[in-house]
Amino acid sequence: MINANLKSSYAADERVLNNRYKQAFVYATILGLALFTLFGNDYLILIASQMGILLIAVVGINILTGYTGLVSLGHGAFVAIGAYAVTIFGNLGAGVIPAGLMPFISVPLAVALAAAVGVLVGLPSLRVKGLYLAVATLAANFIVIFLIEEDLFAPWTGGMVGINTNVPNLLGWELDTKREMFGLIAVVGLVSLLAAQNLIRTRIGRAFIAIRDRDYSAEILGISLLRYKLMSFALSAAYCGLAGALFAYFYARILPEQFELALSLNLVAALIIGGMGRTMGPVFGVIIVVMVPEVIKVLFGALAGDSAGAGQLRAPLQQIAFGVLLVLFLLKEPLGINQIVDRILRAANRWPFARG
Amino acid sequence: MGQFVQFAINGLMAGAIYALIAVGIVSVYKATKVVNFAHGYLIMFGAYFYFTFAVIVPGQPWAPAWLASWQPGWMVEMRGELPMFSPVAAVLDWVANLPRILLGLFGALVCNAILGRIIERVLMRPLMGQSIFAMIMVTVGLISILSGAAQLIWTADAASVPYIAPNMPIRFELFGTMIFLFGTDLVNMAVALLLFGGIVAFVKFTKGGIAIRATAEDQSTAYSMGISVPKVFSRAWVLASTTGAIAGAILATRNGISPSLGLFGFSVLAIVLMGGLDSYVGVLIAAMVVGVLEAMTQWKMGGGWAEIVPYVTVLVVLVWRPHGLMGQKEVERI
């Protein structure tokens, strides 16, 4: 365990993974994910893929809410933009761009589009704060989903009934099984997590944290609120757009209702349950948010079988469990699971001496 | 022109109900500084309680027959002589339903008041003095709990409920066009506006209302002046949930009962922010404006576009006036 960090140069202190335990953790994760991709059971691969997609989006929200302190209840809209943009670009460019190059063009375009809309939605954040911003983003979510469903755009978006998505083709390698897709999701997810960890040690990340702690003080210190708040919005929207692109590639069909308010609330809940403003927070949160409904489903299946009546009970129970979890964490452990893990690690570290 | 007036009147009637819903959010905010994202779901519970006491309970075998449909001798006599679709018949229908309507409203009020109190006690009181973010997110968690619980208790079958007022059609001529209204909509509007006015007067003139305003101004000063702040909190929540019960009963007759009634809370939240969180007058204006704009959008662009009207207007208003039309500007100290 870590009892001290001996650093003999500035370079060592400034590294992204600034101690051996973090490095070991990352290498072990890479190894574990590789083994899991090769040998994991199909059902677990499916669950893990859902977690990976959600994780990327929650990492994005963490940048905005956890590090910059701006509340958003509308990030489901950016996931929707990413998912629809990658599908629409894919359909429009089907004949023009070679299939093997398509993801390399459409995904960056989708991410850029999500970031651009993010800047637009972030504009009120310069004038309104806290609650007002939460409602402004909520409004943006309703508007985006409404526009996707609108008949006017139905030729491109498919309207209410949704649209079939494309299979990603990376330079001739078609990812047409869930296992291959999970490989892609795992790589992208890990890279985006490390990128977020890297971001907060740079000038930009420290500016975000200064804004979170007191925005007027940050402005007095010479941090441009306009620039950094919009940058935070753009970055988090870009992450959500990336998650949306993977979402579209992972599922055979996307529907507008998948990106409604429930998704936005899920993302924020995952962040709160996991722990805001910490790199590992989104990871823990996403595991809980995906696992709890699954566990209820499995338990229910074992107890009541697959009858229609049981199905009618299951969805509300999942919803209630989700709400109770969120409320319990807010009341009892506002810093999330990350805090619990920290406490356990600290106790293990000091064992057999005083805990705390 | 006549068409315009027709839609404007429809809009004002919708706006009055928005105002009634909004008053719950504003009252809770004024007293406790919590913005209740789950208010729409409290209203949904009010609607379901009204449904329970006005439809399910009278339908039980043990319930007396007059509860389900009150048919005294004189009414049967009167009805026999009437032509079809006469206004008097509508009134008689309403009188026959009156016992269960009253039971429904009473049950909804009591149950929602209890629900509001429980929420305040269990969820909100432990968070006193915490960050705004935590409180908002608790109400967000409450959304899931309430909507899940409603689906669990009342399985999601939509059913019709009795109108709370005689539902006779009213026709009159204005600017050369026929204006067509339903009696129940007019009564709903009157009830909503009266309640709104009553609550504003309560907050303005009574002792309890002054305690609420004092708490809103400064909690610790209010405490030291001998005002029981926790009591003010629970009073505000009960006020919000009982107005929510009435609004729920009205919405149940207008839109039918379903868990999606909760979504009204979000458009009303937008209206509240537009008007200014702590200003009753601003909220009333915003509710009426949004109601009319919605009706106009429905007229010109079709029903679908009407649903995003509150959200678009709130974004426009927030960029133009960050604290709403008449909201108090917060002074921030570093």
A 44-73 residues with CB below 8 A of B? 71, 73
Report the C-alpha gap between B219 and B215 in whole angstroms. Answer: 5
Which residue in B has a C-alpha nearest to residue A318's C-alpha? B148
Cβ neighbours of B58 (radius 10 Å): 20
The answer for residues whose C-beta is within 8 angstroms of residue A216's C-beta and 6 or more apart is B332, B334
pLDDT at A30: 92
Which of B28, B43, B22, B100 minimizes the C-alpha distance to B242? B43
Report the C-alpha gap between B21 and B40 in whole angstroms. Answer: 8
CB-CB contact of A132 with B318 (8 Å):
yes
Place of tokens 């805090």: A339
Q: In this complex, do A142 and B311 lie within 8 Å of one another by their Cβ atoms?
A: yes
The answer for residues whose C-beta is within 8 angstroms of residue A103's C-beta and 6 or more apart is A86, A168, A169, A170, A249
Q: In this complex, do B145 and A323 lie within 8 Å of one another by their Cβ atoms?
A: yes
Burial class (CB in 10 A: 0-12, 13-18, 19+), A269: buried
The reply to whether ipTM tops 0.90 is no
Query: Is any Cβ of chain A less than 8 angstroms from the Cβ of B74?
Result: no
pLDDT at A52: 93
Tokens of A194: 């490390």
Chain B partners within 8 Å of A327 (Cβ):
123, 138, 141-142, 145
Which of B206, B212, B239, B272 minimizes the C-alpha distance to B32? B212
Query: Is any Cβ of chain B less than 8 angstroms from the Cβ of A261?
Result: yes
Identity of residue B120: E
Which of A317, A87, A159, A88 minimizes the C-alpha distance to B145? A317
Cis peptide before B99 (omega within 30 of 0): no
Chain A partners within 8 Å of B273 (Cβ):
131-132, 135
Which CA distances in Å does B219 have to A131, B36, B65, B80?
20, 19, 52, 63
3-state secondary structure of B158: coil
Query: Is any Cβ of chain B less than 8 angstroms from the Cβ of A128?
Result: yes
Identity of residue B333: R
Identity of residue A97: I
CB-CB contact of A255 with A161 (8 Å):
yes
CATH assignment of B2-320? 1.10.3470
Burial class (CB in 10 A: 0-12, 13-18, 19+), B140: buried
Query: Is any Cβ of chain A less than 8 angstroms from the Cβ of B143?
Result: yes
Place of tokens 């913005």: B35
User: A56-114, pLDDT tens digit by residue?
Assistant: 999 999 999 999 988 888 899 999 999 999 999 888 887 777 777 888 888 999 999 99
Cβ neighbours of A321 (radius 10 Å): 17
Q: In this complex, do A142 and B332 lie within 8 Å of one another by their Cβ atoms?
A: no
Report the C-alpha gap between A173 and A249 in whole angstroms. Answer: 14
pLDDT at A352: 78
Of B136, B141, B318, the CB nearest to A323: B141
Tens digit of pLDDT at every position of chain A (356 positions): 556 667 888 887 778 887 778 888 899 999 999 999 888 888 899 999 999 999 999 999 999 999 998 888 889 999 999 999 999 988 888 777 777 788 888 899 999 999 999 998 888 777 777 778 888 888 889 999 988 888 777 787 777 888 888 878 788 777 778 888 899 999 999 999 999 999 988 899 999 999 999 888 898 999 988 899 999 999 999 999 999 999 999 988 888 888 888 899 889 999 999 988 888 899 999 999 999 988 888 888 777 766 666 667 788 888 898 899 999 998 888 888 999 998 888 888 777 776 65
Chain A partners within 8 Å of B123 (Cβ):
327, 331
Report the C-alpha gap between B333 and A130 in whole angstroms. Answer: 16
Q: Extract the residue ranges of chain B whose pLDDT is less than 50.
A: none
β-pair type (A253-254, A173-174):
unpaired
Which of A321, A268, A1, A271 minimizes the C-alpha distance to A133? A268
Q: In this complex, do B273 and A132 lie within 8 Å of one another by their Cβ atoms?
A: yes
CB-CB contact of A162 with A255 (8 Å):
yes
Report the C-alpha gap between B101 and A200 in whole angstroms. Answer: 60
Q: In this complex, do B141 and A134 lie within 8 Å of one another by their Cβ atoms?
A: no
Report the C-alpha gap between A151 and B31 in whole angstroms. Answer: 44
Report the C-alpha gap between A86 and A103 in whole angstroms. Answer: 8
Taken as a whole, chain A contains a residue count of 356
Identity of residue B57: V
Of B137, B277, B308, the CB nearest to A272: B137
Place of tokens 């850029």: A112
Q: How many CB pairs under 8 A join A and B?
A: 131
Query: Is any Cβ of chain B less than 8 angstroms from the Cβ of A136?
Result: yes
pLDDT at B298: 85
Tokens of B257: 């009962």
3-state secondary structure of A169: strand
**What are the residue boundaries of the structural domains of chain B, listed by start?**
2-320
